[in-house]
Chain A
């Protein structure tokens, strides 16, 4: 577990980071916390001759909540997400999810941008961002563009981000109503056996809007329109939850690993999705 040699860069602004990235192309990767990339380098599964640490770029940090709009800098740590009262008021789902990521030591280093940009199907925030219909800002020397989280993930570690781009910012709307992030894991620091994010708004005792997404149950996070639709207009009773779970399960494709075989994961996913829906509904 000793990495190959690499150059360590620590630019002070985004322009500097983009310049290094452009100069070295495929030989460069940005570092945004390092809980995924550093182990891969130590296992020599990722060879990164030029490592660009974004830690000193102040412009990439911080949370703003204004007029129902939330903007989070990519280098904001999970700890900072948890600690922000304004964010908790605007989007309580984010704190609930961040608290289920590993342990405090990891959360002091791990960043929201690193979590969503890496494309690791085990990461929690991609599914959460899909549930929240968040938008990612990608920057490259030629300019800036915005993409929706719901269209960003293509396959494991494959995303809509070009190699020359840096994900700099996440923006989303403040939420209303009920929320839940339900996650089963073997131990602290583990990826989910199954996890599910749910948002539900209620009107007159009926579901008026819903969003359901799942983590680590496919090679990408899974946002299920069908599951949300199964809840719309219902009183979120047992049959509605059952229908939503069935719809969600139809869209996942878990693989066997040390957490267990597919049959077990499908069963647990069904339980976790139902619990997430029920908890979100209880808060709606």
Chain B
């Protein structure tokens, strides 16, 4: 050794492995406009498809006249349900076990529903042709309110036998979809009936929509000569799309290749299967040339998968000292016209049963009734694991309402009810096994960082000044503590349409010591190419910069269930580590052979294997890789490759503690977020900079949802928020400064202890912003007021509480 020999610290740094704030390798192309998105694609002879959509929310289709459209120069075809029926593709199965019209079959059930698919030489001609398709409607009564839907004589889904059970059991009414129950209702009711204190609240978690910058789209290309269908699209789960496409079309799965190119954000919006995909495939089969379909912004907001729309009622009971004794939750879930929720099959309300939150609640019950209405289908998990944002909002509001009922400080009420560190693994009343946590440490750290007591003192002073007429601004302190449940999931209880929710990684080490790893997931901006390479770098001792990460091509990537619900790191990240360990095991044998010692006499050290006790005798991973391919080693196959399919033993349970300080002008409803402090515990941290970016993004989407973003309908079922003028998408201007912090409680069952983080800030952020608003009005008698807290609704709160008198 000499001075130029890198020391161990330098060798670790050179890997850019776990814990390194490595710059995102994707950003060079994204920031230079060199990304390759669906709408960038152009294939020879490619046609464009676009939809004739329903003007009405509920109407019978009397006739569709396509003659004038077909007569337009450049129009190739106009598909209607009649054309798809012979192929049995006028309806398609949904992810939730229901079925959905691909093109209107006799009636339409929501505004914007797909009626006909125009295929034309270009997008402009297609748009002209859409205006020429004449649709004759007979309007039907519209049902927007799910509570009224269950009382209505109007039958929305005439295709269903009202007496036959649905995919999730018996149906109570022709507009009812399912009842799903978890926990002990009788026991919970008994506890609540006898409790010292009971707090109740009804809350509406409004309908909103994930709003990726890039809307949904695809290009379908059927090669009639070799019988192969290639489908490029904005798919968060390309392998699932391939399997579903095969089952629907009858094309053998090996003849279908699905490719997700660069995706401009997903947030759950790109999990579902949309009529545009089916119609593009059919159109390509019919025309023999590639067909592209790309939504515009209004199509995206009005018709592709919504999120939330939960009417929740809760009761929470406690002892006179504030120890929670029971929780009862009922949800009326508005699923729109078709039940197309994207949840694991056995969880029709997703993981809503995480609604006991971060608290040690001995008994609980959750009941969910799914209901049809005249709204767009969907029900995706917008930047959260399945329905976890709803669950966390529910419990974090119930805690606040209980604190009001008990005249207690909500921070203290949380503290005395947190699951204690020594209780993990903790079995919740609704059946989950929380893998790990240290909530008290996180909570105390955050409250100290923001000087919680000082804030309460300042708030009290402001209140007095307000009462004296010296200010018209109130101060709100929003608290939230959340536990996410991510990483779906164990195949024993998590599947989608029967497909188990494992994930995968396949690694090839090249002879010169660089590598490619392919995964069953697909990044939509999360930075997988950066972070998965870091996991591997630490596991196999090859620098992250020498590892290519590839996802999204079903012909090359191993089968996986895709990216949503913060599952990539918990599941595919685990597969990556496990596959890396297989590589390392083989590398150890090769190293021992090269060093002429027994396998057990060498040990892994950062980027090499060294002879135990003789660190100057080593073989680097580069040397080992070269030997793996080029040296005959007795008893060992040539090559250095591995694959791992990882079925997680449990979910992971990231958690966090957030505080928001907000000033509210009671006269105008204008809010100013003065401070936002976010502590996240996602277990082992792979790339702190990527984590921070994820947290900023998730908080910003939380800000959007809490403070104004919604899909609102009028009584006739018209979408009132169909453009970005009215649909709130925050810009740099609206976004406050975020302070981030962390604790590290590794997952005990995950190979590297990581838990997933992309969605945590959204899950924890929504109740935090909402609690800040509601906290400001607590002294005047506010218990619960529904989001979104836009200027008008905050003004309305103040007005209802007499603050304008």
Enumerate chain A interface residues (CB-CB to B < 8 A). Answer: 1-5, 44, 103, 184, 186-190, 193, 258-261, 264, 267-268, 271-272
B731 contacts A260, CB within 8 Å? no
Which of A1, A3, A258 has a CB less than 8 Å from the CB of B298? Answer: A1
| Contact string against A for B residues 771-792, beta-carbon threshold 8 Å, 1 for contact and 0 otherwise | 0000000000000000000111
Q: Quick check: is B70 within 8 A (CB to CB) of the other chain?
A: no
Distance (whole angstroms) from the CB of B298 to the closest CB of chain A: 6
Interface residue stretch chosen among B3-11, B120-128, B523-531, B613-621 = B120-128
B791 contacts A184, CB within 8 Å? yes
A258 contacts B667, CB within 8 Å? no
Known: A1-B296, A1-B298, A271-B667. A186 touches B790 (CB 8 A): yes
Distance (whole angstroms) from the CB of A74 to the closest CB of chain B: 25
Closest chain B residue to A42 by CB distance?
B296
B792 contacts A260, CB within 8 Å? yes
Q: List 23 A-B contacts (CB under 8 A).
A: A1-B296, A2-B50, A2-B124, A5-B124, A5-B128, A44-B131, A103-B731, A184-B670, A186-B728, A187-B730, A187-B731, A188-B731, A190-B725, A258-B712, A258-B720, A258-B721, A258-B726, A259-B791, A260-B791, A260-B795, A264-B792, A268-B667, A271-B668
B734 contacts A267, CB within 8 Å? no
**Contact residues in B for A259 (Cβ distance below 8 Å):** 791-792
Q: Quick check: is B650 within 8 A (CB to CB) of the other chain?
A: no
Known: A184-B670, A271-B667. A264 touches B795 (CB 8 A): yes
Q: A258-B726, A268-B795 are in contact. List 4 more A-B contacts (CB 8 A).
A: A188-B733, A267-B799, A268-B667, A268-B791
**Contact residues in B for A3 (Cβ distance below 8 Å):** 124
| Contact string against A for B residues 353-365, beta-carbon threshold 8 Å, 1 for contact and 0 otherwise | 0000000000000
Distance (whole angstroms) from the CB of B320 to the closest CB of chain A: 41
**Contact residues in A for B297 (Cβ distance below 8 Å):** 1
**Contact residues in B for A268 (Cβ distance below 8 Å):** 667-669, 791, 795
- Chain B interface residue bracket vs A: 20 to 34
A186 contacts B708, CB within 8 Å? yes
Distance (whole angstroms) from the CB of A209 to the closest CB of chain B: 28
Question: In the complex, A189 Cα to B795 Cα: how many Å?
Answer: 21
Provide the main secondary structure of the chain B interface. Answer: loop
Question: In the complex, A271 Cα to B792 Cα: how many Å?
Answer: 14
Q: Quick check: is B796 within 8 A (CB to CB) of the other chain?
A: yes
**Contact residues in A for B669 (Cβ distance below 8 Å):** 264, 268
Question: In the complex, A1 Cα to B298 Cα: how many Å?
Answer: 8
CB contact list, B380-396 vs A, under 8 A: none
**Contact residues in B for A190 (Cβ distance below 8 Å):** 725
Q: Quick check: is B804 within 8 A (CB to CB) of the other chain?
A: yes
Question: In the complex, A259 Cα to B790 Cα: how many Å?
Answer: 8
**Contact residues in A for B733 (Cβ distance below 8 Å):** 103, 187-188
Distance (whole angstroms) from the CB of A134 to the closest CB of chain B: 28
CB contact list, B523-547 vs A, under 8 A: none
Question: In the complex, A190 Cα to B734 Cα: how many Å?
Answer: 12
**Contact residues in B for A189 (Cβ distance below 8 Å):** 725, 731
Distance (whole angstroms) from the CB of A180 to the closest CB of chain B: 16
Distance (whole angstroms) from the CB of A34 to the closest CB of chain B: 16
Known: A260-B795, A268-B795. A2 touches B131 (CB 8 A): no
CB contact list, B708-741 vs A, under 8 A: 708, 712, 720-721, 725-726, 728, 730-731, 733-734
Question: In the complex, A103 Cα to B730 Cα: how many Å?
Answer: 13
Question: In the complex, A190 Cα to B790 Cα: how many Å?
Answer: 13
Distance (whole angstroms) from the CB of B802 to the closest CB of chain A: 14
Which of B128, B296, B725 has a CB less than 8 Å from the CB of A4? Answer: B128
Question: In the complex, A271 Cα to B670 Cα: how many Å?
Answer: 12
**Contact residues in A for B726 (Cβ distance below 8 Å):** 258
In the A-B complex, the 5 residue pairs with the closest CB atoms: A260-B792, A2-B127, A1-B296, A188-B733, A258-B726
Closest chain A residue to B295 by CB distance?
A1
**Contact residues in A for B731 (Cβ distance below 8 Å):** 103, 187-189
**Contact residues in B for A4 (Cβ distance below 8 Å):** 127-128
**Contact residues in A for B667 (Cβ distance below 8 Å):** 267-268, 271
Distance (whole angstroms) from the CB of A273 to the closest CB of chain B: 12
Distance (whole angstroms) from the CB of B729 to the closest CB of chain A: 8
**Contact residues in B for A260 (Cβ distance below 8 Å):** 790-792, 795
**Contact residues in A for B799 (Cβ distance below 8 Å):** 267
Question: In the complex, A225 Cα to B752 Cα: how many Å?
Answer: 72
Question: In the complex, A184 Cα to B721 Cα: how many Å?
Answer: 20
B795 contacts A267, CB within 8 Å? yes
Distance (whole angstroms) from the CB of B538 to the closest CB of chain A: 42
Question: In the complex, A188 Cα to B790 Cα: how many Å?
Answer: 14
Distance (whole angstroms) from the CB of B714 to the closest CB of chain A: 11
Question: In the complex, A163 Cα to B296 Cα: how many Å?
Answer: 32
Distance (whole angstroms) from the CB of A22 to the closest CB of chain B: 28
